Amino acid sequence: MDVAALTFLALALPFVAALLAPLLTRLLGHNAAWVLALFPLAIVLHFIRFWPEVAKGEVVTGGYAWIPSFNVSFSWLIDGLSLTFVLLIAGIGALIVLYSGGYLKGHPQQGRFFSFILMFMGSMLGVVVSDSFLMLFVFWELTSITSFLLIGFDHSREAARRAALQALVVTGGGGLFLLAGLLIIWNVSGVTQLSLLSAFGSEMRESPFYLAALLLVLGGAFTKSAQFPFHFWLPNAMEAPTPVSAYLHSATMVKAGVYLLMRLNPVLGGTPEWQILLPLFGGATLVIGAALACRQTDLKLMLAYTTMASLGLLVMLTGLGAPHAIEAAVLYLVAHSLFKGALFMVAGIIDHETGTRDVTRLGGLRSAMPLTFVIALAAAFSMGGLFPFFGFIAKEEIYYALSGFDRRSLVFAAIAILGNALMFAVAFAVALKPFVGAKIETPKAPHEAPILLWLGPALLAAKGLSAALLSGLTHELVSTPMASAIAGEPRAVTISVVPHVGLPLIMSIVTAVIGIGFYLKLDRVRAFMATILADIGWGPDRGFDQFIRGLVRFSVTLTRRLQSGRLEVYMTATFILIAFVLLVVPIAYGEFPRAPFFAADVPLHELAIMAIAVIGLIAVVLAADRLTAIVSLGIQGFAVAVIFLLYGAPDLAFTQFMIETLSVVVLALVMTRLRLSPSDHRPLAQKIPDVAIALACGLGFGLMLLKVTGVPFDATLTDFFNLYSKSIAHGANVVNVIIVDFRGTDTLGEIAVVMVTGLAILSLVRLRAGSLRRVADNDPDAEEGA
């Protein structure tokens, strides 16, 4: 099997595993996690094969034609950026599957949960390897749908349903912005694949549509990666089970927006707009998220808000434009995936084994849960940027990128120090406060977690240490190829775990000192933030509820106005629109026909036929009852049929005669059975607008026909049908061949419409007849009146 087929199979593995998960869970119980974890492990093993090529800076592409006529393919792009994301998604995903087996042990819907988490994994893998624009968008929206299922997994709780809907609305709506941005990029560049797009960076940046494309792409990225003010869905997503939170925050959905910005950096980056908007929103998100994290007492919410802050830091670094900023973003993204996944799983272990996640109700767990304490402490060291963990290397590179003495560097350096110090305090609040101090009684007697729960966080914490100690190898295989892919040019990452005396180290020490101060005064910081939030009162989360309520009210009002349930209203609106299109639009564009309505040499007999049609129209309008109107209506049809006959279309005239005759006969029989009352009950005030609309539509159609007939005749279709009717359809009558063969499906549809109409008439007649019989049975004199 070739590499392309194996790659396609690897991308399909999560969805295959999702189909098998319920059956395996039914057979093996929670131990099905061991089998299901083999699927993402196989994905890791497959994509590791690309490491030698990617480490050399090469790009691997492949795929299959999807819609060749539109140059759309199911194609993938493997470079340093996508390969790193794939290994994080699949590697951490395997650990999350194992963790889910222990965390949801005994849950009646564990099989369903496995299916959802694996579909989510497959969706995220599709996002990061997609080369095709359409493939990227499809998987992008699929992550929103699968996250909706995961966040609302406990659908019996209103809070879970609200959080799931909120995440779907925000991220799904952002996906529509992304689609519009990708369409603009496609229109400007003319390509539909990311691997080809990098060559059109200058064209995109110089295009008058650049700003529109940038804002739309940022709309998709900011909503997905929870940038302020679209951040509110992320903390609410903590209603999901802890395995979802750990996966969502470490390696998957919330980093999709960051991935998109990094992917498009060579095309959209480097402009003043890019270097203003990204650092501005990213810096604001960093500080706000870190401050809100200090306000929380729920372990998961504390970590959720620090994820928001970390995403802001990544966005800020991606758009900063300073030397080594891209390298710093790469290192911090990897470090964050490792320590945040570990800490979330630690929070889940604490909740699972004690029955609470409230940090104020936890303490003294170190003796009962020593292994969990060590794991938490190791992950907190990396999150706090302390030696010798990978987070320390990332923090050093961040400060190295911000160590300039210009005003811009100083401002963002201060923002980074403040945000990192607050996250330092939260990291050790999560890792220390539940374990040290006096023992506090918890709802459940604490004890060490089983292997399915602690294996994942232990491996992630250990990886955060080993990646730093083996930084040379890490940079060769991961950091350098990833930074080069983001920058669009070769970038070498060389920073090591050995501390180097200089401004970055001093900034790291300052961060740690301030962070320790925040940690020691965390209760005061929490009270201070609570006061500020109380004074502000309103927030984006409440604004979302107000927006949804307003949208629902507006929709109900609009629907009641537009969908009144009266056919008369629908028909009036339809004909007003038709008149508008046929009259107003041609007037606006000067498309009215300039030829006179009638030529001077119109034969007298044609004028007579037209006069007959007008007389028939007057008879329809003035008819006293519907039966007379129906009979009079046939006059127009017969007049038109005579005109067809005069102009050399006897077969069409014959068809028209038959249709008009049958229509009059059938409608007359139906009306006779129904015995309907006189035709028109409308007052004069209603008749006048209806007459105006009818005349406008008639005039519009007449002018359109005059305009069409004034255009020189194009005989292309005529020649085609004359040429092929005999040779292909084996019919001498061209009109019949067109109807039966060339337009066979259309004719079939018309027949279906006639059949449905006949059935409706039959049902109406029977319903009316049955009603009359019931009336006659009750009152023999009533039928005559009916």
Backbone angles phi, psi at 298, to 5 degrees: -80, 130
How many CB atoms lie under 10 A from the CB of residue 557?
Answer: 10
Least trusted range by pLDDT, from 320-334, 408-422, 533-547: 533-547
For residue 75, give the nearest of 140, 11, 20 by alpha carbon.
11
Note the pLDDT of residue 454. Answer: 92
DSSP string, 37-68: THHHHHHHHHHHTTHHHHHTT--EEEEEEEEG
Locus of tokens 């607008």:
689
- Which residues is 559 bridged to in the sheet? none
Q: Write the CB contacts of 150 (distance below 8 Å, at least 6 apart in sequence).
A: 113, 116, 117, 120, 240, 241, 244, 248
Q: Summarize pLDDT for 165-220 with one digit per residue, the tens.
A: 999 999 999 999 999 999 999 999 888 889 888 888 888 899 999 999 999 999 99
- Report in angstroms the alpha-carbon separations of 598 from 410, 601, 604: 80, 8, 12
In the chain the first and final C-alpha atoms are separated, in Å, by 79
How many CB atoms lie under 10 A from the CB of residue 212?
Answer: 14
For residue 320, give the nearest of 225, 399, 424 by alpha carbon.
399
Contact 287, 418 (CB under 8 A): yes
Q: What percent of the chain has pLDDT over 90?
A: 51
Answer whether residue 772 shows pLDDT above 90. no
Answer whether residue 591 shows pLDDT above 80. no
DSSP string, 156-221: TSHHHHHHHHHHHHHHHHHHHHHHHHHHHHHHHH---BHHHHGGGHHHHHHSTTHHHHHHHHHHHH
- Give dist(CA 698, CA 645) in Å, integer: 23
Note the pLDDT of residue 783. Answer: 43
- Give dist(CA 512, CA 506) in Å, integer: 10
Locus of tokens 């023992």:
439
Least trusted range by pLDDT, from 157-171, 192-206, 278-292, 759-773: 759-773
Which own/partner pairs from 136-144 qualify as long-range (CB within 8 Å, at least 24 positions apart)?
136/182, 136/194, 137/175, 137/178, 137/179, 137/182, 140/175, 140/178, 140/220, 140/224, 140/256, 141/172, 141/175, 143/171, 143/224, 143/252, 143/253, 143/256, 144/168, 144/171, 144/172, 144/175, 144/253
- Which residues is 75 bridged to in the sheet? 63
Least trusted range by pLDDT, from 9-23, 299-313, 550-564, 586-600: 586-600
Pair of tokens at residue 661: 């005759």
- Give dist(CA 504, CA 501) in Å, integer: 8
Rounded mean pLDDT, 743-760: 83
Q: Summarize pLDDT for 337-391 with one digit per residue, the tens.
A: 999 999 999 999 999 999 999 999 999 999 899 999 999 999 999 999 998 999 9
| Coil, strand or helix at 74 | strand
- Give dist(CA 569, CA 563) in Å, integer: 9
Query: One-letter amino acid identity for 182?
Result: L
- Give dist(CA 644, CA 642) in Å, integer: 5
Question: Can you count the helices (H) and strands (E) in the chain?
Answer: 36, 2
Q: Summarize pLDDT for 124-174 with one digit per residue, the tens.
A: 999 999 998 989 999 999 999 999 999 999 888 999 999 999 999 999 999
For residue 702, give the nearest of 610, 588, 629, 589 by alpha carbon.
610
Note the pLDDT of residue 299. Answer: 93
Contact 231, 237 (CB under 8 A): no
Length of the chain: 786
Answer whether residue 608 shows pLDDT above 90. no
Pair of tokens at residue 385: 């940027």
How many CB atoms lie under 10 A from the CB of residue 244?
Answer: 27
Pair of tokens at residue 701: 């159609």
Note the pLDDT of residue 458. Answer: 95
Q: Which helix (H) or strand (E) holds 777?
A: helix 744-778
Contact 232, 539 (CB under 8 A): yes
Q: Summarize pLDDT for 692-738 with one digit per residue, the tens.
A: 998 899 888 888 888 887 778 888 888 888 888 888 878 888 878 88
Q: Residue 130 carries which DSSP code?
A: B
As a whole number, the mean pLDDT across the chain is 87
Note the pLDDT of residue 784. Answer: 45
Which own/partner pairs from 621-628 qualify as long-range (CB within 8 Å, at least 24 positions apart)?
623/679, 624/678, 624/679, 625/676, 625/677, 625/678, 625/679, 626/671, 626/676, 626/678, 626/679, 627/668, 627/671, 627/672
Q: Write the CB contacts of 226 (distance below 8 Å, at least 6 apart in sequence).
A: 233, 234, 254, 257, 285, 307, 308, 311
- Report in angstroms the alpha-carbon separations of 630 from 270, 376, 670, 678, 764: 72, 85, 11, 12, 18
Answer whether residue 785 shows pLDDT above 50. no
Locus of tokens 């007579």:
608
Contact 133, 186 (CB under 8 A): yes
Total-model pTM: 0.79
**Dihedral sign computed on CA atoms, order 334, 336, 342, 348:** negative
Contact 109, 164 (CB under 8 A): no
DSSP string, 441-467: --SS---PPPHHHHHHHHHHHHHHHHH
Answer whether residue 450 shows pLDDT above 50. yes
HSE (side-chain half, CA atoms, 13 Å) at 562 = 7
